[in-house]
Amino acid sequence: MSAPSAPKNTPKVTEREARQVAEAAREQDWHKPSFAKELFLGRFRLDLIHPHPMPAADDVRRGEAFLARLRDFCETRIDSALIEREARIPDEVINGLKELGALGMKIDPKYGGLGLTQVYYNKALSLVGSASPAIGALLSAHQSIGVPQPLKLFGSQEQKEAFLPRLASTDISAFLLTEPDVGSDPARLATSAVPDGPDYVLDGVKLWTTNGVVADLLVVMARVPKSDGHKGGITAFVVEADSPGITVENRNAFMGLRGLENGVTRFHRVRVPAANRIGPEGAGLKIALTTLNTGRLSLPAMCVGAGKWCLKIAREWSAVREQWGRPVARHEAVGAKISFIAATTFALEAVVDLSSQMADENRNDIRIEAALAKLYGSEMACLMADELVQIRGGRGFETAASLAARGERAVPAEQLLRDLRINRIFEGSTEIMHLLIAREAVDAHLKVAGDIIDPDKPLSAKAKAGANAAGFYARWLPGLVAGPGQLPRTYGEFNPPGHPDLSTHLRYVERSARKLARSTFYAMSRWQGRMETKQGFLGRIVDIGAELFAMSAACVRAELLRSSDDHGREAYRLADTFCRQSRIRVEELFTRLWSNTDDLDRRVVDGVLSGEYTWLEEGIVDPSGEGPWIADATPGPSVRDNVHRPIR
């Protein structure tokens, strides 16, 4: 059976055109300092994160009061096993969350919301996500990337007054960008919004619409054709989910997050008032990316909750399970896993809390910090969950329902592993995050030297760029030779008596930041215009930066806890252990910058795609069903039943 071609209306674009669309959507300038940006430039600006920023007393009071109510709700009203078994969050649970005000955690009180800070919003997601990751995903998709956040940042006063009170109390929202043939390449976005009098007419199909099955309001990204009076381009709209012409054609099912209300939504001649357009035409991608600058913090916040649960179960189980005459925790092979979970959970919480507090204070530009938190949190949480399954052995692979059926504690370790796996894909896959962060990390270089390696720039532009680059690098490169990380007493406040010495780790971060910047500069000099194709190298550069950021955050958090007499000694021990583990990973990554199999891998890939290795696939049967690899998303009326089910 031959697979049909891609949807007929998907724009055909070159790789260069796709990159230009993505570049145009970026925030081009840096108006505020960024710790992570400076880190990638080889400048360790500890002053930007230390002393650790603190929330206002009133924010703490309101946040803690809500967390107490939410904890009671989680303990008494949420049955995670029921959600897993029935693959659905009960309506009464969602209605209870509405009554609690959970839909409006980040919405201003003047619109009926709770007005929580980013710090306490993330703590709430960590808490509710530990009770049910599916509920955490529902609340996060509603507020972090759904209608409230883009309206808060870009909406008109009339739009805020019309929609935010609904979103704070009764209405669930969803974010619709992805299409069957369009993922992280928005230049190929096919859903159209054609101006027609006072309205736009939407046609197209959206895939993986988290909350889309139960949503009342949608943020939809659609392409407005350029015409007289219309700039055109990808544009954001608020759309009523029950509008005529909208059909939720499928509720998708996944290996994890079984309660996720994620679907396929078709638009056929859906009329949307021009008053529902968010921002100007063509600003849709910029709105989406700006929304994600802080919205990405919700995902690592739930990863923190997962790490805390992994630590709790590992501690309790490893103390009672005996092998060869002693608890398994006392065996080094298992103990190393427990140490990794404890130290990494401490570091992840440090990264999320620090980034969140900086977002609340709005003193720093945290676009890289938030992206690093998402990347690092999603990767490390999966590793922690996998280690927990290993610690639990056969019981880790067994479902909670099966454990309960034979009389043991129903510990859903395998479910957590399945639930967390999507985080490496959600809101930008690990691979896309590597490229996104790498682009921001080299922004200063491209600003001064980008024209030199741009094949489309004339010689005059290249000459001018060469002069600018010479001046920039004459000032920048000498600073990468030596720094405070080479002085033995630098950062002495992180070496208090009776505690592990964290100053040595901060000196390591400072030295490594300069080494990282030198490596990046050398790579740009070596590969120039081909640098963007060296995704393996760029990924390792970003991973080193993520480790250095996490080490910095862990040390700063430990010192905060010590100075406030809040488990300071234990925090120092955890930070010291994490940094020592992290340094091993950093050294390996530095080695792999230049000693790797990237070139060999490309040759093997060429062979695989050309069919050279099909003989290696012999001796199996393929249990996959028939059908196209990518579903047809050609616009038109729906022929499927509408499975949309708003919750009231």
Residue 193: is its pLDDT beyond 80?
yes
- What pLDDT, on a 0 to 100 scale, did the predictor assign at position 17? 65
Average pLDDT on 533-542 reads: 95
Residue 232: count of CB within 10 angstroms of its CB: 14
Residue 87: count of CB within 10 angstroms of its CB: 14
Query: What's the CA gap between 82 and 79, in Å, rounded?
Result: 5
Q: Residues near 362 by Cβ (< 8 Å), separated by ≥ 6?
A: 32
With tokens 């800070």, the residue in question is 117
The region of weakest confidence among 28-32, 348-352, 490-494, 537-541 is 28-32
**Which residue type occupies 200?**
Y
Residue 197: is its pLDDT beyond 80?
yes
* Local structure of 108: helix, strand or coil: coil
Q: In 125-276, which ranges are E strands?
A: 173-176, 192-196, 199-210, 217-224, 233-240, 246-251, 262-273
- Residue 528 region by backbone torsions, left for phi larger than 0, else alpha for psi between -120 and 50, else beta: left
Residue 343: is its pLDDT beyond 50?
yes
Residue 520: is its pLDDT beyond 70?
yes
pLDDT bracket for residue 7 (50, 70, 90)? low
Query: What's the CA gap between 626 and 233, in Å, rounded?
Result: 36
**Percent of the chain's residues with pLDDT above 70:** 96
By C-alpha distance, which of 155, 178, 179 is closest to 167?
Answer: 155
Q: Residues near 138 by Cβ (< 8 Å), separated by ≥ 6?
A: 89, 94, 172, 210, 211, 259, 260, 261
Six-digit token string for 390? 């290993």
For 235-274, give the secondary structure using H, E and C.
EEEEEECCCCCEEEEEECCCCCCCCCCEEEEEEEEEEEEH
* Local structure of 291: helix, strand or coil: helix
User: What does the mean pLDDT of the chain come to?
Assistant: 93
- What pLDDT, on a 0 to 100 scale, did the predictor assign at position 1? 38
- What pLDDT, on a 0 to 100 scale, did the predictor assign at position 600? 97
- What pLDDT, on a 0 to 100 scale, did the predictor assign at position 471? 86
- What pLDDT, on a 0 to 100 scale, did the predictor assign at position 18? 67
Tell the burial category of 429 from Cβ atoms under 10 Å away from its Cβ (0-12, 13-18, 19+). Answer: middle
- Tell me the HSE value of 587 on the side-chain side, using a 13 A CA sphere: 7
365-418 per-position pLDDT tens digit: 999 999 999 999 999 999 999 999 999 999 999 999 999 999 999 999 999 999
Residue 76: is its pLDDT beyond 90?
yes
553-592 per-position pLDDT tens digit: 999 999 999 999 889 999 999 999 999 999 999 999 999 9
Query: What's the CA gap between 593 and 541, in Å, rounded?
Result: 8
Average pLDDT on 166-172 reads: 97
Higher pLDDT, 93 or 291: 93
Chain centroid to CA 247: 29
Query: What's the CA gap between 85 and 13, in Å, rounded?
Result: 44
- What pLDDT, on a 0 to 100 scale, did the predictor assign at position 5? 47
pTM value is: 0.95
The region of weakest confidence among 19-28, 249-258, 352-361 is 19-28
Average pLDDT on 203-224 reads: 97
By C-alpha distance, which of 500, 499, 504 is closest to 489?
Answer: 504
CB 368 within 8 A of CB 437: yes
Residue 145 gets which letter from DSSP? I
Average pLDDT on 223-243 reads: 95
Residue 9: is its pLDDT beyond 90?
no
* Catalytic site positions: 427
pLDDT bracket for residue 539 (50, 70, 90)? very high
Give Cα separations from 609 to 183, 533, 602, 606 (angstroms).
22, 18, 11, 5
Q: Residues near 85 by Cβ (< 8 Å), separated by ≥ 6?
A: 401
**Percent of the chain's residues with pLDDT above 90:** 81
Residue 475 gets which letter from DSSP? H
- What pLDDT, on a 0 to 100 scale, did the predictor assign at position 452? 78
Q: Residues near 149 by Cβ (< 8 Å), separated by ≥ 6?
A: 106, 143, 291, 294, 295
Tell the burial category of 420 from Cβ atoms under 10 Å away from its Cβ (0-12, 13-18, 19+). Answer: buried
- What pLDDT, on a 0 to 100 scale, did the predictor assign at position 339? 97
Residue 496: is its pLDDT beyond 60?
yes
pLDDT bracket for residue 19 (50, 70, 90)? low
Residue 15: is its pLDDT beyond 80?
no
